[in-house]
């Protein structure tokens, strides 16, 4: 389900960002917000996140927090958000990949089944919520193995237990397969890296069932728990948040406060292209400028124009009097560059070289 305001993005047209004549917080009833890299990083609030969420909520937008991180319980996540100053955050507003994978397992095994857990308390709580029994050893006769992010202190022996059970043919599940996770000191290994450890140890023969973004089980869990009618997915990752929105048929906003940088955005394949792009969560509070195609095939947005010449992206100011410091929004330049780069790729060419254009923006 989607809503198109203003120019928007035409059905099937993914070669440029969409536009909205009104603030996104008014165009959509629910923001499905990723956490790591969007609301916080390494436990600390991302700049402008708390204030922006407060304004969006005060204006009537429902805020739901949808995370692939299965480490903490919804109660712990809500408490953390409250500590950061996010208004009105409650456990019922939090949807985790632990909940999604627990439902997936419960659909496959009888109630009361034992499940070997490699992960944190959030995963154990979610399993118990579905009537399943978490166990610690491959010798506890589990009928399933589940992996979720367990934090940097997860003992190596936990991976060994998972490998023993999977090697014996026990069905294998994963909350998510994000290879990385953003933190205060940089990008660290995520649950996907841990899944690869077990895969390698078992000879690469087994394949886990995965619940988290961008796959359908996570979208199903989110819809069931939030009841959103006009949702907007808000995330920092192309391969989870934005692809998950694409798979669910809903619109998305990419914020550049986490994993994805501008160069990666310009090289995005169609299913990884967000409907909207913003520097941070302040993008929820404003409309989105239209990206227009001119007579020469260039893409304009605000004071900027982008085109492709000799395999390179060319960025110029469409308004001679504008400057980055004096009114030309750099994010409008990014949106125009997206139009030029995505259209060139869709026309069958290679992704244009963005080096000079990004250097002009200081990216």
pLDDT tens digits along 114-155: 999 999 999 999 999 999 999 999 999 999 999 999 988 899
- 161: in domain: yes
Q: Are 251 and 18 in contact (CB under 8 A)?
A: yes
**Residue after which a domain boundary falls, among 184, 210, 236:** 210
| Shared-domain flag, residues 113 and 179 | yes
- 241: in domain: yes
In angstroms, what is the C-alpha Rg of the chain? 22
Report how many domains make up the chain.
Answer: 3
Q: Roughly how many angstroms between the first and final C-alpha of the chain, as a whole number? A: 34
- 224: in domain: yes
| Shared-domain flag, residues 218 and 206 | no
Residue-level pLDDT at 182: 76
6: confidence class by pLDDT, cuts 50, 70, 90: very low
| Shared-domain flag, residues 200 and 103 | yes
Catalytic residue among 11, 13, 29, 34: 34
pTM equals 0.87
| Shared-domain flag, residues 246 and 337 | no
| Shared-domain flag, residues 312 and 354 | yes
| Shared-domain flag, residues 125 and 170 | yes
Q: Which CB contacts under 8 angstroms, 24+ apart, belong to 41-46?
A: 41/182, 41/183, 41/184, 41/257, 41/258, 42/182, 42/183, 42/184, 42/185, 43/80, 43/184, 44/84, 44/184, 45/84, 45/85, 45/86, 46/257, 46/258, 46/280, 46/281
- 80: in domain: no
pLDDT tens digits along 179-204: 988 777 888 899 999 999 999 999 99
Question: What's phi and psi for 88, nearest 5 deg?
Answer: 70, 15
Strand order across the beta sheet in which 209-210 lies: 133-135, 114-118, 144-147, 172-174, 209-210
Q: Is the dihedral of CA 236, 237, 240, 241 positive or negative?
A: positive
- 87: in domain: no
- 28: in domain: yes
| Shared-domain flag, residues 195 and 299 | no
Residue-level pLDDT at 351: 87
Has 34 been annotated as catalytic?
Answer: yes
CATH label of the domain that carries residue 194: 3.40.50.1000
| Shared-domain flag, residues 206 and 222 | no
**What's the domain range around 166?**
98-210
Catalytic residue among 36, 93, 178, 236: 36
Residue-level pLDDT at 319: 60
Q: Are 170 and 144 in contact (CB under 8 A)?
A: yes
Say if residue 8's pLDDT is above 80.
no
């Amino acid at each position: 389900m989607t809503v198109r305001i203003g120019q928007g993005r035409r059905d099937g047209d993914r070669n440029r960002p969409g536009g909205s004549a009104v603030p996104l917080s008014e165009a959509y009833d629910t923001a499905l917000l990723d956490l790591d890299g969007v609301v916080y990083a390494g436990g600390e609030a991302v700049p402008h996140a708390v204030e922006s969420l407060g304004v969006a909520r005060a204006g009537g937008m429902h805020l739901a927090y949808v995370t692939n991180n299965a480490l903490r319980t919804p109660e712990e996540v809500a408490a953390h958000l409250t500590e950061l100053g996010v208004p009105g955050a409650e456990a019922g507003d939090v949807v985790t990949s632990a909940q999604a994978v627990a439902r997936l397992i419960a659909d496959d095994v009888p109630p009361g089944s034992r499940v070997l857990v490699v992960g944190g308390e959030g995963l154990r709580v979610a399993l118990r919520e579905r009537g399943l029994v978490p166990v610690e050893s491959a010798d506890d006769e589990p009928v399933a193995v589940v992996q979720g992010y367990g934090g940097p202190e997860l003992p190596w022996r936990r991976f060994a237990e998972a490998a023993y059970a999977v090697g014996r043919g026990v069905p294998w599940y994963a909350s998510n397969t994000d290879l990385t996770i953003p933190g205060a000191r940089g990008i660290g290994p995520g649950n996907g890296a841990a899944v690869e450890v077990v895969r390698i140890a078992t000879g690469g023969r087994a394949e886990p069932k995965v619940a988290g973004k961008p796959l359908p089980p996570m979208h199903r869990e989110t819809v069931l728990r939030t009841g959103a009618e006009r949702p907007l997915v808000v995330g920092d990752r192309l391969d989870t948040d934005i692809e998950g929105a694409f798979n669910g048929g809903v619109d998305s906003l990419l914020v550049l406060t986490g994993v994805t940088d501008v160069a990666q955005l310009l090289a995005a394949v169609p299913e990884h292209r967000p409907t909207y792009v913003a520097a941070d969560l302040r993008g929820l509070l404003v409309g989105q400028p239209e990206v227009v195609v001119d007579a020469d095939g260039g893409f304009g947005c605000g004071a900027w124009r982008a085109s492709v010449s000799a395999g390179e992206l060319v960025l110029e100011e469409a308004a001679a009097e504008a400057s980055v410091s004096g009114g030309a929004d750099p994010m409008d330049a990014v949106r125009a560059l997206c139009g030029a780069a995505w259209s060139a790729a869709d026309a069958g060419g290679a992704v244009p070289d963005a080096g000079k254009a990004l250097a002009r923006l200081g990216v």
